[in-house]
Amino acid sequence: MTGNVVIGLSAVVMGVRGGEIATLTVRGDGPRALPAGPFDPDADRTFELALRAFVTQQTGFELGYVEQLYTFGDKGRDAPLADLGGETGPGAARVVSVGYLALTPTAGEAPAIAADWAPWSRFFPYEDWRRGRPPVIDEAIVPALLAWADSQPERQVRVRLLFALDGARWNEERVLERYELLYEAGLAPEAERDRARVRGESGEALGSRLGEPMAGDHRRILATALGRLRGKLKYRPVVFELMPATFTLSALQRTVESVSGVPLHKQNFRRMIVRTGLVEGLGRLEPDTGGRPAELFRFRREGLVSTSAPGLSLPLA
């Protein structure tokens, strides 16, 4: 007879709060966690319905756009429901976690019940290149990773590629690979916890500068979500799921920049947006800009049926 399996559902709920993209987290005794809950095979008809129900229950939020991310089943990577499923010893239920990405345009407004919004940069500070290459990369991450790589060429190549050394371009989509590299190298506090032994120096000392840890494998799920969203931006008009009904083009640009973590070229961004026809000017103006009032736009949802519904390109500054 085979052992038992428990399926845990976790949601990365993203929304804009004060111009910054943030993710919904719940706070307990330990580190922050994503909204998560068990899947009940008797009661729940689909994963997505179960997810929507418990996110609303835990955080007071109604989800809009929802997309499945990945199913994590590795033994030894602390699963998000480990605390719900009992002890992690032999004979305990195996926890498989299905991660979801959800987008909501209402982030700023409604107050969450037992949750609050945390910008993703808290968990991945090195992923924010909007004001140039983050110093922490060359001051802390790269030296530690190269020490770990020792003189193994395969490891060195990964470090150079993922952290844009020697002229390699920063690829903002590879969030998960970077996190996994840090995890493998023991630079994520989660790695030590999962191995249930202390590594000492580097991990603990650097911990905070490399991003706040999360419960279970939640930071891994968050990395998956951020990478997926950064990629999807470029070929599907998903940004608009994060925007209010009307918005200025600058607000749209700030949202895209906040998600992708790179600075964009203002003029070309505008041109690109209007050329796609995804957006419609309303003639009305938004006065509180600090300068000249900006025109308000809305997303042309209908327009998508006729076109091939493309995404956005990222015209780098």
Partner DNA sequence: TCAAAAGTGTTATCCTTACACCCATGT
Partner DNA sequence: ACATGGGTGTAAGGATAACACTTTTGA
Which positions lie near DNA, rule CB under 7 A?
248-250, 265-268, 270-272, 275, 285, 287, 289-295, 313, 315-317
Nearer to DNA by C-beta: 71 or 307? 307
Nearer to a second copy by C-beta: 58 or 97? 97
Q: Which does 68 bind (CB under 5 to 8 A by kind): a second copy, DNA, none?
A: a second copy
Q: Which does 122 bind (CB under 5 to 8 A by kind): a second copy, DNA, none?
A: none
Q: Which does 270 bind (CB under 5 to 8 A by kind): DNA, a second copy, none?
A: DNA
CA angle 272–269–304, rounded 5-degree value: 40
Query: Does residue number 3 form part of the binding site for a second copy (CB under 8 A)?
Result: yes
Contact 8, 31 (CB under 8 A): no
Q: What residues numbered 139-178 form the site for a second copy, per CB under 8 A?
A: 157, 161, 168-169, 171
Q: How far, in Å, CA of 272 to CA of 253, rounded? A: 11
Nearer to DNA by C-beta: 89 or 287? 287
Q: CA of 313: how far to CAs of 195, 200, 230, 236, 268, in Å?
A: 41, 43, 11, 10, 10
Encode burial over 11-34: b for 16+ CB neighbours within 10 A, e otherwise. bbbbbbbeebbbbbbbeeeebbbb
Q: How far, in Å, CA of 7 to CA of 68, rounded? A: 14
Q: What residues numbered 286-315 form the site for a second copy, per CB under 8 A?
A: 305-306, 308
- Dihedral-angle region of residue 253 (phi above 0 means left; psi in -120 to 50 means alpha; beta otherwise): alpha
Q: Is 291 exposed, middle or buried (CB count within 10 Å of its CB: 0-12, 13-18, 19+)?
A: exposed
Q: Which does 76 bind (CB under 5 to 8 A by kind): a second copy, DNA, none?
A: a second copy
Nearer to DNA by C-beta: 153 or 167? 167
Binding site for a second copy (CB under 8 A): 2-7, 38-47, 68, 70-71, 73-76, 93-94, 96, 98, 157, 161, 168-169, 171, 305-306, 308
